[in-house]
Amino acid sequence: MPLQTVHISDSDADAAKYEMFSHPDPIVQKRMLCVRMKSLGYRHQDIADVIGCCRNTVGNYLSLYEESGLEGLKVLNYHKPKSTLDGHSAKVEASFREQPPRSVKEAAERIKKLIRVERSLGRIRHYLHRLGMKPRKTGQIPSKADPVKQRQYHDEVIQPLLSKAQKGECHVLFMDSVHFVLAAFVAVVWCFERTFVKTSPGRFRLNVIGAIHATSKKLTALYNTTYITADTVVALLERIAKEYKGRPIHIFLDNARYQHCPLVKDTAVRLGIALEFLPPYSPNLNLIERLWKFVKAEVLAATYFQDAKTFQNAIVHFLNQLHKKKMKNELLTRLSSNFQLFDNAQNLTA
């Protein structure tokens, strides 16, 4: 059948119209556009001018359509030379998962030793991307932290209590203290040249001990400029007991000595508060740690305070605004119940 009389069904014409915009491969898109234009009666030369090819190519596309239909036009038989590296990907990936390379140069050296294949740094970089790797900033985990215990505590204690709190069966809070020091908090800023931030002399600090409600994100806090002690913790527990009476109260907290003492534990029992001590070295499981990070980013980062009073007022004012709608919406995102766990923690040794 001459190409000029090729028959394209209405269903194929509609399908080609869809695929010429939706198919991920640009070559297939061109082929579909060719079929669509042919169904509308365009001449081969006009089709060739639109899709940027010669008339013979248009004829080849339409011949392929007649032989195999639209599905045949989607088949791409390109010759793709296979890299020698790809044949060893499983071995290289296993090595790099166990000990990620710090640079492309290190990756190239290790590949050379591992599989005896040497390539330029540019090709190694492309190969690492093909493996699914890319440069990522490392996180930190305390060396004494136990990822297995953290996972178990998260699954067996934290999440069940959070589930009860969301159903209104109890109150769950996360408690911790922070010590804000009047000093320069360096940060990344958009600027035309490197910027220097003044820092105040002296070592004034504002101590805050607070408890954030897991569902309402309401903060209960006490402030001082001396020390956080067991008496301070007791005062906070008494305030929490008054604010949340009527339902069981669970408070997650770390193992600081002044929180683990008999005075605090006895007070909690007297007030009907269950103290849920987190595994050692687990700041990632304490929700309120994210709030302190939020304060440092929004209030202190790259900001100069001329005196201690201004510094203190800025922090207290910010924490007093957490109940407002805009701030509360921000907290719902930052203080979600998704906790950072370290199932894939690695020791990157020299």
DSSP letters for 286-346: -THHHHHHHHIIIIIBT---SSHHHHHHHHHHHHHTTTSHHHHHHHHHHT-S-----TT--
Q: Which of 211, 158, 203 minimizes the C-alpha distance to 183?
A: 203
Q: Please give the order of strands across the beta sheet that includes 249-253.
A: 219-224, 205-213, 171-181, 249-253, 273-277
Taking 70 as the pLDDT cut, the residues of the chain under it are 1-4, 78-80, 202, 344-350
The residue with tokens 């002296």 is: 202
* 252: Cβ contacts below 8 Å, ≥ 6 apart: 158, 172, 173, 174, 175, 276, 277, 278, 285, 286, 287
Pick the CATH number of 147-334 from 3.30.420.10, 3.90.650.10, 3.40.50.970, 3.40.50.720: 3.30.420.10
pLDDT of residue 2: 43
pLDDT digit string, tens, across residues 287-317: 999 999 999 999 999 899 989 999 999 999 9
pLDDT tens digit string along 160-211? Answer: 999 999 999 999 999 999 999 998 888 888 888 888 888 877 678 999 999 9
pLDDT score, position 184: 82
H-helix or E-strand spanning residue 271 = helix 262-271
Any residues with CB less than 8 A from the CB of 264 and at least 6 apart, and which? 230, 233, 234, 237, 258, 275
Residues in the chain: 350
Residue 21 amino acid letter = F
**What is the pLDDT at residue 347?**
57
β-bridge partners, 180: 206
DSSP letter, residue 279: P
Residue indicated by tokens 């599989």:
115
- Boundaries of every domain in the chain: 3-73, 84-130, 147-334
